[in-house]
A and B are shown apart, each in its own frame.
Chain A
Amino acid sequence: MPEKKTMVISSAEQLLDAKTRRNFLKLMGAGGAVFFLPSILTACSDDDDDVTGPAFGQPAGSGPAVVIDFSRGDVAVLQYAYALEQLEADFYTRVVAAFSTSTFSAGERVVLTDVKNHEVIHRDAFKAILGPSNDFILNTTYGNLNFADRTSVLATARTFEDLGVAAYNGAAQYLTVLANLELAGKIVSVEARHAAVIRDLIAPKSSSQGDSGTSFAPKAFDDAFRPGKVVPLAQPFVVEVLTPRNAPATFVQGPNNNG
């Protein structure tokens, strides 16, 4: 028998790392011991930073680079998701904050408030799960978007939700840890529910299909976009420069073959 070894897990981030997990599993198999340091148990933050920082509204891409290094594997994919959830959470927080001047119906306000809650929870969940790897905050910019204007707000919401679905669907193939894939799956279907509902607010009960289709479900298969396609579509809303690094060279297309 090999000697018994021990492993110390000091951050939640390590649990997301395929290498750590492999070692963990091997250690379990060999009858080793694993210790969780107290810091991992307090990874859950209760920060109330509902909106992004003081650089809000600066020109898109005018800030420093925010690097997501895909050589980090699963952690990078979760950072990528965290970045997108930051944008969505910030957007809907501003939408809800503008209710006093906007023309949304009572029912629409309930919907948008729900979506705001879900996106903030997604963002804060990733923040907690990523632990020390959550150390970036994106500042948003929306050009001349009028948050009091129903049509403009819903159009932007649709963009975010459809992009979110395509981003998760396209990034899942880079996840190597089952628990991370499951987590992404739990979120992407909620984003798809949001997308359908927002689209139904814009064009109720529409059956219009295709890239410019207005239906709640404009395609039989949702898009799956690689990070390199998602980032340029998200960048117009971000002050910092979204900088994917070491993005995987290979991307397996979905049925729409457009990612």
Chain B
Amino acid sequence: MTTNNTTLLDSIDPEIVQTLAKRQNEIANGAGTNSKLTAALALGSIPVALAALSKDVYGQSASDVLDVLQFALLLEYLEAEFYNRGVANATVMGIPAADLPIFTTIQAHENAHVAALRAMITAKGATPIAKPNFDYTAKGNVPGFNFAAGQYATFQVLSQAFEDTGVRAYKGQAGRLINDKATLTAALTIHSVEARHAAEIRRLRNLKGWITGRSRDDLPAFTQPIYDGENNASQAGILLFPLGNNNGGGEAVTEAFDEPLTKDQVTAIVTPFLA
């Protein structure tokens, strides 16, 4: 066993602990971040202030949920247009007839995700972000890619990159939805579909359906941030490498868990694709 106290402490919602520590300083400085907290502090009641603080830390706000939905919509726009253009140019690119059903299926799903997210945002009284223009060369990282003749292999590379990113992006945002069960559940049912897409495109490319370690396999170097951190083997504060004994070793331990990406990490991955 290599578990230690530090790891266990780290496992307890480090964001919450950090936020709490930060808020503790704010309390010490007489600052408040919500009305109940301020009121409790004004009454000089630290226990009540802590209770308000605790609730505040746990409580993801409505604006948080909208931010997640808009962020997800951006990713779905990126995917939907990619497959729309890919399917429209299937003959030009040379997608074999046997492979095309994979992409028409994913295309339909991504467009359904766009429609659903727009509806969810509208239902919450907000306006969905407009679809931006995309640059599928990722600012030249995918030189000359334009859904053109002979570019089917590159199309598959980008498909894998988008799907594996999508899985990690949704996973990273789930926590911000913990208090909005309808949005959480809807997001999770998209999240697992992205994982199905990812596995299928990986199989099509003769790769395993799952991610081993932090390997990007044969994808170009600029995609490495999509896979960084996937080699994590510590779950709930317990290092799981021993569980790989006679069960595929450390590689299987990392394959068995997909890892989240933060919004900032996903933004860095996606930004080059914004025209």
Contact = CB atoms under 8 A, between A and B. Distances in A.
B248 interface: yes
Given A121-B252, A220-B116, 14 more contacts: A29-B24, A44-B239, A111-B209, A114-B255, A125-B235, A168-B188, A178-B13, A188-B195, A189-B167, A189-B258, A192-B193, A205-B99, A221-B189, A255-B189
B252 A193 contact: no
Interface string A59-98: 0000000000000000000000000000000000000000
Interface string B7-44: 01001110111001101100000000000000000000
A235 to B, nearest CB: 23
Contacts of B184: 172-173
B108 interface: yes
Given A179-B13, A206-B101, A221-B193, A128 B175 contact: no
A193 B199 contact: yes
B160 to A, nearest CB: 12
A40 B235 contact: no
Most chain A beta-carbon neighbours within 10 Å: one of B1, B184, B192, B200: B192
Given A28-B20, A36-B8, A189-B192, A46 B13 contact: no
A8 interface: no
Contacts of A120: 243, 247
B215 interface: no
13 contacts: A25-B17, A25-B54, A44-B243, A114-B255, A125-B235, A168-B192, A185-B191, A186-B258, A188-B192, A189-B192, A216-B102, A220-B113, A252-B181
Interface string A175-197: 11111111101111111111111
A44 B238 contact: yes
A30 to B, nearest CB: 7
Give the dominant DSSP class at A's interface. Answer: helix
A2 B49 CA distance: 13
Contacts of B8: 15, 36, 40-41
Contact of A205 (B98, B112, B210): B98
Contact of A220 (B57, B112, B243): B112
Contact of A185 (B112, B181, B239, B260): B260
Given A44-B1, A206-B101, A256-B189, A129 B235 contact: yes
A6 to B, nearest CB: 15
Contacts of B79: none
B256 interface: yes
B210 A217 contact: no
Given A179-B11, A252-B185, A128 B196 contact: no
A197 B12 contact: no
A224 interface: yes
Interface residues of B, number: 83
B144 interface: no
Interface string B158-182: 0000000001000100110010011
Contacts of B104: 207
A190 B16 contact: no
Give the dominant DSSP class at B's interface. Answer: helix
Contacts of B198: 193
B63 interface: no
A128 B234 CA distance: 12
A48 B246 contact: yes
A118 B209 CA distance: 12
B175 A178 contact: yes
B189 to A, nearest CB: 4
Contacts of B195: 188-190, 192-193, 196
A27 B142 CA distance: 52
Nearest to A175: B178
B132 to A, nearest CB: 22
B47 interface: yes
A151 interface: no
A256 to B, nearest CB: 7
B192 A165 contact: yes
Nearest to A124: B243
B209 A196 contact: yes
B236 A179 contact: yes
A114 B244 CA distance: 11
Nearest to B197: A217
A222 B188 CA distance: 8
Interface string B258-270: 1110000000000
A176 B178 CA distance: 7
Interface in A239-254: 252-254
Contacts of B50: 26, 29-30
A234 B233 CA distance: 29
A254 B185 contact: yes
A158 interface: no
